Amino acid sequence: MVTVAPQRLDALLQSIAASAFQAAFGSALPAADFSVQKTRREFPGDRTVVCFPLARHSKAAPDATAEQLGKAMTAAEGPVVGYNVVKGFLNLELEKEYWADWLAHAAAEANYGREPAGSAPHVMVEYSSPNTNKPLHLGHLRNNFLGHSVSRILAARGHAVTKVQIINDRGIHICKSMVAWRKFGAGETPESNGIKGDKLVGKYYVAFDQAFKKEVAAMVAAGTEQAVAEKSAPILLEAQETLRLWEQGDTDTVELWKTMNSWVYAGFRDTYATMGVEFDKLYFESDTYLVGKERVLEGVERGVFERGEDGAVWTDLTEDGLDRKLLLRADGTAVYMTQDIGTALLRFQDFPDLDRQVYTVGNEQEYHFKVLFLVLGKLGFAQAQRCHHLSYGMVELPEGKMKSREGTVVDADDLMREMFDIARDIAEEAGKLEGLDEAARQGVFQKVGLSALKYFLLKVDPKKNMMFDPKASIDFYGNTGPFILFNYVRGRSILRKAEAAGTATEASPSMALPGEAEMALVSLLHDLPDVIEEAADTYNPSLVANWCYDLTKGYSSYYQDHPILGAEDPDTRNLRLVLTERFTRTLHAGMHLLGIDLPERM
């Protein structure tokens, strides 16, 4: 039996293949030239070597190359005990003792699947990035869960990760809320009415839109053209004047801005705590846009950017396949790109070892980030070509799209509360939580409800638009968070019962060897490092989510067909208990990457 470090099984097989190829054909090739992949289910074998690229070195047909290489690898020292050839594909069978050794040792490691911390470059992940004129909504949930999960996946890949958000705390949007509060608020505060601060400010953002529409309608009825009315409505002009006063540093305007933003920040903190996400550092647009303006003007002096006749500053990206992009208006005021330039440069300044930044932002901003990365490159930042826009699709509801100004968004707090209530109803109907006090029960409801929400939003490829259905997400059957949690809890219950009965679980290479049924589960357990690697390389948590589901489905099927505590043969029972322990351990690691906590009971 060969004992190896199975996290690097493919690398081991590449090394064996390189030596065997040289012995068989007299040609030395780098181990990396041997493509090793998981064997397709319809063929016998554990791993497959793709031999088509090797034929030009072997001077033989791909199938003949595979045949000779298979004989040489089987004869070599290592875990390969058999093979079969399908055209140019060499399917390798590994000795069962190898898998028993893997179950006993590598699968039991606390950090199985993870690379050493700090072994990969420093990456910054931005997510959330809300405006301070409204509470977080369903779209923010997908954003936060994606960014937070990608942060954990990159950390598992060995990257040093810094989690940040840029808070969009300036501009006409917050001025609209300020104007409406002054007009209609009568001094209302979160303390005076018990409303969360972000919801209170959002209430006045909606009130502004309602008042604006009334004014426009009145002006149109009096004979003003629609387009003119929309640009000259008194309440809009007041918001624009408020923005001008803010940028000039008017004391009363700035103080009201600080007060209302503080209400929003407090509300955001509560929502993030419920979501289970956190940040290492916060950036504020009210600071970074000034840095952006300075750097853009420096770029003009260096000849990187150009100033138009009216004084506006532009960058010409036509040679890069884009167009000319405005960086500063003629009156010297900043645009969104100015702020993002300043934010990016501040971050590179704050973290000199930063290799790249990952921006979790909706797909409607894809062009914006193409421009940003090109501009950063023109400013001399080599990291710009490695920066990444984690673009994601829209989350829709059966009722259609959400609209913040009309107050038709799905509030994040309300949705999470609804998920907790659904979980409570299901648990109480099933009667599974007897003996737990109310605090413990509430903890279970929150874990189940939040797992359903997170998993449903993360199991879809980020690039795709998706429809969210709260009731479907919390179903205990199918590809859902609760299905995964239920089987995890079942596995943990079995292990507790075994321990209470004094049934020892001995994981050792000498334990019973896994059969065909066990191997299906072992193979899935073994995949975790590869899943993490691919998810990190593609910034795609859905790969982890669906691996968790496949693993859970595999264990659920195994459990249905194979009694565990009821197995009569002690060696068989021991093997099944070891598999159960490895299943719960590895699933816990995978769900952790999604930001999902698993309960011991539900």
Sign of CA dihedral 279, 539, 395, 416: negative
pLDDT at 405 (0 to 100): 42
- Phi, psi for 317 (deg, rounded to 5): -110, 20
pLDDT at 3 (0 to 100): 47
Do the Cβ atoms of 122 and 353 come closer than 8 Å? yes
Q: What's the mean pLDDT when you consider all of the chain?
A: 93
- From the list 104, 118, 116, the residue with the least C-alpha distance to 6 is 104
DSSP-derived pairing of the beta strands 47-50 and 89-94 = antiparallel
Q: Which amino acid is at 596?
A: I
- % the chain with pLDDT above 70: 97
Structure tokens at 196: 């969360």
Rounded distance between C-alpha atoms, residue 272 and residue 270, angstroms: 6
Please count the residues of the chain: 602
Rounded distance between C-alpha atoms, residue 271 and residue 201, angstroms: 15
Q: How much helix, strand and coil, in percent to the nearest 5, is found in the chain?
A: 60, 15, 30
Is the pLDDT at 398 greater than 80, yes or no?
A: no
Q: Comparing 119-128, 155-164, 421-430, which segment has the lowest mean pLDDT?
A: 421-430
**pLDDT tens per residue, range 243-270:** 999 989 999 999 999 999 999 999 999 9
Per-residue confidence band for 408, with pLDDT thresholds at 50, 70 and 90: low
Residue range 40-59: mean pLDDT, rounded: 95
- From the list 57, 95, 99, the residue with the least C-alpha distance to 73 is 95
Residue range 278-299: mean pLDDT, rounded: 94
Residue range 423-430: mean pLDDT, rounded: 82
pLDDT at 1 (0 to 100): 45
Is the pLDDT at 433 greater than 90, yes or no?
A: no
Structure tokens at 379: 């400013």
Query: What angle is formed at CA 306 by the lines to CA 302 and CA 311, rounded to 5 degrees?
Result: 115
**pLDDT tens per residue, range 551-566:** 999 999 999 999 999 9
Residue range 452-470: mean pLDDT, rounded: 94
For 542, residues 6+ apart whose C-beta sits below 8 A from its C-beta are: 458, 459, 460, 461, 462
Is the pLDDT at 4 greater than 70, yes or no?
A: no
Query: What angle is formed at CA 258 by the lines to CA 257 and CA 259, rounded to 5 degrees?
Result: 90
- Mapping DSSP onto H, E and C, the string for 90-156 reads EEEEECHHHHHHHHHCHHHCCCCCCCCCCCEEEEEEECCCCECCCCCEHHHHHHHHHHHHHHHHHHH
- H or E stretch including 160? strand 159-167
Rounded distance between C-alpha atoms, residue 60 and residue 423, angstroms: 62
**pLDDT tens per residue, range 238-249:** 999 999 999 899
Rounded distance between C-alpha atoms, residue 464 and residue 340, angstroms: 25
- From the list 388, 344, 396, 372, the residue with the least C-alpha distance to 540 is 388
Best CATH choice for the domain 412-593 from the list 1.10.730.10, 3.30.460.10, 3.40.50.300, 1.10.3720.10: 1.10.730.10
Grouping H, G, I as helix, E, B as strand and the rest as coil, residue 84 is strand
**pLDDT tens per residue, range 51-99:** 999 999 999 999 999 999 999 999 999 999 999 999 999 999 999 999 9
Q: Is 110 exposed, middle or buried (0-12, 13-18, 19+ CB in 10 A)?
A: exposed
- H or E stretch including 168? none
Rounded distance between C-alpha atoms, residue 127 and residue 134, angstroms: 17
- From the list 467, 575, 593, the residue with the least C-alpha distance to 531 is 593
For the chain, the structural domain boundaries read 6-94, 412-593
Rounded distance between C-alpha atoms, residue 96 and residue 276, angstroms: 41
Is the pLDDT at 401 greater than 80, yes or no?
A: no
**pLDDT tens per residue, range 336-372:** 899 999 999 999 999 999 999 999 999 999 999 999 9
pLDDT at 402 (0 to 100): 43
Rounded distance between C-alpha atoms, residue 477 and residue 38, angstroms: 28
Query: What angle is formed at CA 375 by the lines to CA 280 and CA 167, rounded to 5 degrees?
Result: 30
Is the pLDDT at 5 greater than 60, yes or no?
A: no
Query: What angle is formed at CA 317 by the lines to CA 311 and CA 321, rounded to 5 degrees?
Result: 150
For 295, residues 6+ apart whose C-beta sits below 8 A from its C-beta are: 341, 342, 345, 379
Q: Could you give the dihedral angle defined by the CA atoms of residues 297, 298, 303 and 307, in that order, rounded to the nearest 10 degrees? A: 10
Per-residue confidence band for 7, with pLDDT thresholds at 50, 70 and 90: very low
**pLDDT tens per residue, range 116-125:** 999 999 999 9
Q: What is the DSSP string of 323-356?
A: -EEEEE-TTS-B-HHHHHHHHHHHHHHH-TTEEE
Exposure string for 474-496, b = 16+ CB within 10 A, e = fewer: bbbeebbbbbbbbbbbbbbebbe
DSSP structural state of residue 458: H
pLDDT at 8 (0 to 100): 77
Helix 234-247 with 172-184: angle, nearest 10 deg: 120
Same fold, 6-94 and 412-593: no
**pLDDT tens per residue, range 505-522:** 888 877 888 888 999 999
Do the Cβ atoms of 587 and 484 come closer than 8 Å? yes
Higher pLDDT, 454 or 335: 454
Rounded distance between C-alpha atoms, residue 551 and residue 483, angstroms: 12
Grouping H, G, I as helix, E, B as strand and the rest as coil, residue 559 is helix
Is the pLDDT at 404 greater than 90, yes or no?
A: no
Per-residue confidence band for 428, with pLDDT thresholds at 50, 70 and 90: confident
Is the pLDDT at 163 greater than 90, yes or no?
A: yes
**pLDDT tens per residue, range 484-500:** 999 999 999 999 999 99
Per-residue confidence band for 316, with pLDDT thresholds at 50, 70 and 90: very high
Give the CB-side neighbour count of residue 433, counting CA atoms within 13 A: 22
Best CATH choice for the domain 6-94 from the list 3.30.1360.70, 3.40.50.300, 3.90.340.10, 3.90.170.10: 3.30.1360.70
Residue range 418-437: mean pLDDT, rounded: 82
